[in-house]
Amino acid sequence: MEKSGLINFSSLEKELQAALEADRRYQRENEAKFRALNQNVASYEEFRDIVLASHLKALDRKDISGAPRKQPWNPIAFGTKHESALSEEVQPKLSEIQPRSASEFIREWRRFAGSSLEKYSLLVSLGGKALQEIFRTEVGLGLLGEFLLILSQCLKSGDEEIVIGVLDGLSSTGRFGLNLSLISQAEQKACEELFHQLQVTAGDSSDTSLAGEASLTAKLKALMGKYDIQK
């Protein structure tokens, strides 16, 4: 709403269209995920390619006849100028971002484009309970692995307990076991490194009580089982 008190219908319409598109994409990817599983694909990469291409439509006659194309075949997989433009927009303050659904979260997540630190700050600012509620059905394809990469790469001293809470919240989302089994080798390695960093912090912490350290260690041990991390 503008300062004059008038409703900006153009802005509301854009937000509505973005939310609808995010919902449509979620449904497409979810359906493609089950199709890929039913086809018994040979590798994770093949599975991921099928889902990333779920938005593509069959070619019609004008595409085959040589008519000029207005966009790349797969802008979602390879990135477009449109997505680059989004990264240049003024970003909202993290304190103002309070997504209530997976589609709203994905919309905000994409605004940060390639900024790992901003994505990390978003995860930490929301916390485990909020993320568990947002992704109560499941964490969308690719997001769980990306979360683990971001947390591993950007973990800050002093954030350990919050990050453990984030990991705990994500482990309680729908179809967690399935999504965990589909992360890439690089994402699995990042997950192992993240837990190693958290273990070192829990064991070496000198500014917490022994009871606090024991509690943190116990939480980590339980989470390692959920994330299939070997000691």
Run means of pLDDT, 10 residues per run, the chain, 231 residues: 63 75 72 70 64 55 50 46 40 69 89 87 95 92 91 94 96 94 93 94 60 77 94 69
- Up-side HSE of residue 64: CA atoms within 13 Å toward CB? 4
Q: What is the pLDDT of residue 17?
A: 78
H and E: helices and strands count for the chain:
12, 0
Q: What is the pLDDT of residue 143?
A: 92
Q: What is the pLDDT of residue 213?
A: 62
Whole-structure pTM over 0.75, yes or no? no
How far is the C-alpha of 66 from the C-alpha of 106, rounded, in Å? 35
CA 14, 18, 20, 21 torsion-angle sign? positive
Angle, in degrees to the nearest 10, between helices 210-226 and 160-171: 30
Q: Is 152 exposed, middle or buried (0-12, 13-18, 19+ CB in 10 A)?
A: buried
C-alpha distances out from residue 34 to 8, 37, 138, 144, 213, Å: 40, 5, 14, 17, 42
Q: What is the pLDDT of residue 114?
A: 74
